[in-house]
Amino acid sequence: MSSCLIAPSILSANFARLGEEVDNVLKAGADWVHFDVMDNHYVPNLTIGPLVCEALRKHGVTAPIDVHLMVKPVDRIVPDFAKAGATLISFHPEASEHVHRTVQLIKANGCQAGLVLNPATPVEVLDYVLPELDLVLLMSVNPGFGGQAFIPSALDKLKRVRERIDRLGKDIRLEIDGGVKADNIREIAAAGADTFVAGSAIFNAPDYATVIAQMRAEVAAARR
Ligand SMILES: O=C(CO)[C@@H](O)[C@H](O)COP(=O)(O)O
Ligand SMILES: [Fe+2]
């Protein structure tokens, strides 16, 4: 199993002080910055684009930026995010006419590629494309908003995707996104996730370092 990575979703950060918020959460022990891009079309919400990603890089953020695109169509915006400093780019298959082509486009632009499965998207969508991926992102809420409750069926889905990744024997990260908290992360880790997005659980807490440390301890307990 790969190392445990914590990826705070900046959707729940204070956007008026975004650079400082990202610095603080990284100082508090976060590994990646999870960057939620919403277009008010694929999902009913509107957030941030490549300019903000670029601004974080110019501000001095060197940690991996994990871009979660909830944008349809997706291909046109991929090169812009690559130029803006994205490390990984993940997209929803429903937002791409040609999933395999979008994966290749992301890689051709020098980024790692991830595919995102909504709660009702079957794992079979990974057939034929899993070997090309660097990451699978399972949604444990319907995309569009932070602060929603974890959908329990994601646990069974995590197990099924973990089996597929292990069978393939390739180093592919299994990321979970939505409703992840210190009090449910242990069972999420036990089900096979190795990369944990958490927005409200971290940014709504008084002390980011305490929550992140708690989360890591829970993941370690699941792996013992
Ligand atoms: O992609 C999304 C929502 O669409 C997420 O990344 C959320 O922003 C996670 O927030 P919490 O559920 O952890 O508050
Ligand atoms: Fe996300």
Mean pLDDT per 10-residue segment, the chain (224 residues): 94 98 98 98 98 98 99 98 99 98 98 99 98 98 98 98 98 98 98 98 98 98 96
The reported pLDDT for the residue numbered 96 is 98
ipTM of the complex: 0.99
Burial of 192 (0-12, 13-18, 19+ CB in 10 A): buried
CA of 113 to the centre of ligand 2 (A): 14
pTM over 0.95, yes/no: yes
Q: Which of 9, 68, 89, 176 to mutate to test the pocket of ligand 1 (most atoms within 8 A of CB)?
A: 9
User: Which amino acid makes up residue 56?
Assistant: L
- 112-117 sheet: strands from edge to edge: 5-8, 195-198, 173-177, 135-139, 112-117, 88-91, 65-70, 33-38
User: Which amino acid makes up residue 87?
Assistant: T
Given the residues 31, 134, 177, 194, select the one marked as catalytic: 177
Nearest protein CA to atom 8 of ligand 1, as residue = 146
In short, whether 147's Cβ falls inside 6 Å of ligand 1 is yes
23 is an active site residue: no
The reported pLDDT for the residue numbered 1 is 72
Three-state secondary structure call for residue 37: strand
Please count the other Cβ atoms lying within 10 Å of the Cβ belonging to residue 130. 18
Q: Which of 11, 69, 118 to mutate to test the pocket of ligand 1 (most atoms within 8 A of CB)?
A: 11
**CATH number of the structural domain 5-223:** 3.20.20.70
Dihedrals phi, psi of 69, to nearest 5 degrees:
-85, 115
Closest ligand relative to 13 C-alpha: 1
Q: Which DSSP state fits 105?
A: H
**Where do the domains of the chain lie?**
5-223
CA–CA distance, 80 with 77 (Å, rounded to integer): 5
CB half-sphere exposure, 59, CA atoms < 13 A: 16
